[in-house]
Amino acid sequence: MMLYPNLLSSTIIGDLKLSNRVIMAPLTRMRAGPGNAPTKLNAEYYGQRASAGLIITEATQISQQGQGYLDTPGIYTDEQEAGWKHVVERVHSRSGLIALQLWHVGRISHSKLQPNNALPVAPSAIPAPAATARIPHEDGFLRVLCDGPRALELEEILGIVNDYRNSAIRAKRAGFDAIEVHAANGYLLNQFLSTNTNQRTDSYGGCLENRARIVLDVVDAVVSVFGAGRVGVRLSPNGIFNDIEDTDAEEMTSYLARGFSERGLAYLHIAEPDWAGGAPLSDEFRKSIRDNFKGALIFCSNYTAAKAEKIISSNIADAVAFGRAFLANPDLPERFRVSSPLNEADSKTFYCGAEIGYTDYPALTKDKGNSELEHKNS
Ligand SMILES: Cc1cc2nc3c(=O)[nH]c(=O)nc-3n(C[C@H](O)[C@H](O)[C@H](O)COP(=O)(O)O)c2cc1C
């Protein structure tokens, strides 16, 4: 008898038909090639994980201004678009589905990464006291405290929304099945939502509706390219990563969930705080998200297959995203199906190591029986 019948069952999310509800969470790996373009190695990595119900890519910057770490991929040049096309083709050739996570880091950057070494931008000129960026240094890199930021002018906000639209156009040409708007984890859109980082006095700051405005503008821009049934948003209510201290995160989430619902978005993806700190989500809050949003709900953070099965069978979630487990187990749904042990993720190679800790995690062998592991490098 299969242990996880709900988790491993197919489902419809917006316009997408998923073969299972084991989603690959977005995972920054800092292994893009020259010009921040995806490479053959990146295509191999995503291709290995094509059995996910849906792959959500690593966060991908919409402009150079949106970059905060060295070697993260972008989607604003022809070279980057071509690299992503190759990745998408590999995933599709293995019958997988893949969504691109669109990203602007806002204040979580450093002038060394910015166009003309300008200061990073944010809703307000409020630095992130403890957050770091990763910048080039001699032949390698250095982790440094973020510098700046300066507050965005009103017209510049319209320009950023336009960058999201242009990135979505490129993503569509590259063949992506969907877009995930990254409004979580303390990056630009989350900086607009949160009370401690947004102290603007114009139509993008102040009351909750104003702080939410840019997220809805971005969603509308991306929907105009992909259609609502192929757009999702990631939020991280109560999360404190990157120095977020939001006093009304739950109310904001409910407001946004209603706005996304009215627009018919495919899914809402909740990155739970227990991964990087913050008060855990209450059962009442989870239920209120369900009540406010009619599309599919995905939860993520520290899930095991058993915990995921439970949250899906009790109808709190429609699917669950797995980060570190998918990073270390390219065939995660199959391992859940046969109750195989999981490879451990090695945090030392999360953000470096080329193929090591990236494409060399072993899959189960098909010919030797499912309980044996294939040791490609032994
Ligand atoms: C190496 C690493 C990179 C991550 N990169 C991203 C990212 O690019 N975008 C994002 O929204 N979350 C990112 N996260 C957060 C994960 O998507 C996920 O929320 C977190 O790992 C908790 O899930 P897990 O317990 O299943 O790993 C990252 C996490 C890790 C460990």
| Helix (H) or strand (E) segment spanning residue 335 | helix 332-337
CATH of 11-349, one of 3.20.20.70, 3.40.50.970, 3.40.50.720, 3.20.20.220: 3.20.20.70
**What is the 3-class SS of 197-262, one letter each residue?**
CCCCCCCCCCCHHHHHHHHHHHHHHHHHHHCHHHEEEEECCCCCCCCCCCCCHHHHHHHHHHHHHH
Q: How many angstroms separate the CA atoms of 62 and 223, rounded?
A: 16
Q: How many angstroms separate the CA atoms of 91 and 96, rounded?
A: 5
Nearest ligand 1 atom, CA 324: 27
Ligand 1 pocket, 224 CB below 6 A?
Answer: no
Number of neighbours of residue 277 by Cβ within 10 angstroms: 11
Strand-pair category, 140-145 with 132-137: antiparallel
Number of neighbours of residue 374 by Cβ within 10 angstroms: 13
Q: Tokens in use for 335? A: 């391992």
Q: Which residue type occupies 45?
A: Y
Q: How many angstroms separate the CA atoms of 243 and 255, rounded?
A: 22
| Active site residues per annotation | 187
E strand segments, the chain: 11-13, 16-18, 22-24, 54-61, 98-103, 121-122, 132-137, 140-145, 150-151, 178-182, 231-235, 267-271, 296-300, 319-322
Task: Identify which of 22, 23, 27, 329 to mutate to test ligand 1's pocket (most ligand atoms within 8 A of the CB).
Answer: 27
Ligand 1 pocket, 234 CB below 6 A?
Answer: yes
- Side-chain half-sphere of 231: how many Cα atoms within 13 Å? 27
Whole-Å CA distances, 73 to 52, 102, 147, 223, 285: 21, 10, 22, 22, 34
Q: Please give the angle made by the CA atoms of 240, 243 and 244, to the nearest 5 degrees.
A: 55
Closest C-alpha to ligand 1, atom 12: 26
| Helix (H) or strand (E) segment spanning residue 106 | none
Ligand 1 center to 345 CA (angstroms): 12
Ligand 1 center to 350 CA (angstroms): 10
Task: Identify which of 29, 103, 240, 324 to mutate to test ligand 1's pocket (most ligand atoms within 8 A of the CB).
Answer: 324
Under a CB-based contact definition with an 8 Å cutoff, are residues 23 and 54 in contact?
yes
Q: Please give the angle made by the CA atoms of 121, 123 and 128, to the nearest 5 degrees.
A: 70
Chain centre distance of CA 325: 15
Q: How many angstroms separate the CA atoms of 320 and 304, rounded?
A: 10
Q: How many angstroms separate the CA atoms of 241 and 182, rounded?
A: 14
Q: How many angstroms separate the CA atoms of 294 and 321, rounded?
A: 19
Ligand 1 pocket, 88 CB below 6 A?
Answer: no
> Average pLDDT by consecutive 10-residue portion of the chain (378 residues)?
93 98 98 98 98 99 97 98 98 98 98 96 95 86 92 98 98 99 98 98 98 98 98 97 95 98 98 91 96 98 98 97 98 97 97 96 71 39
Q: Please give the angle made by the CA atoms of 344, 347 and 350, to the nearest 5 degrees.
A: 110
Cβ neighbors of 146 (< 8 A, separation 6 or more) are 68, 107, 108, 109, 110, 120, 127, 128, 131, 132, 133
Ligand 1 pocket, 322 CB below 6 A?
Answer: yes
Query: What pLDDT was estimated at residue 139?
Result: 79
Ligand 1 center to 201 CA (angstroms): 33
Q: Dihedral of CA 234/270/127/142: which sign?
A: negative
Ligand 1 pocket, 347 CB below 6 A?
Answer: no
Closest CA to 58 of 94, 96, 29, 18: 29
Closest C-alpha to ligand 1, atom 4: 27
Ligand 1 pocket, 290 CB below 6 A?
Answer: no
Q: How many angstroms separate the CA atoms of 58 and 49, rounded?
A: 13
Under a CB-based contact definition with an 8 Å cutoff, are residues 269 and 233 in contact?
yes
Q: Tokens in use for 247? A: 């006093």
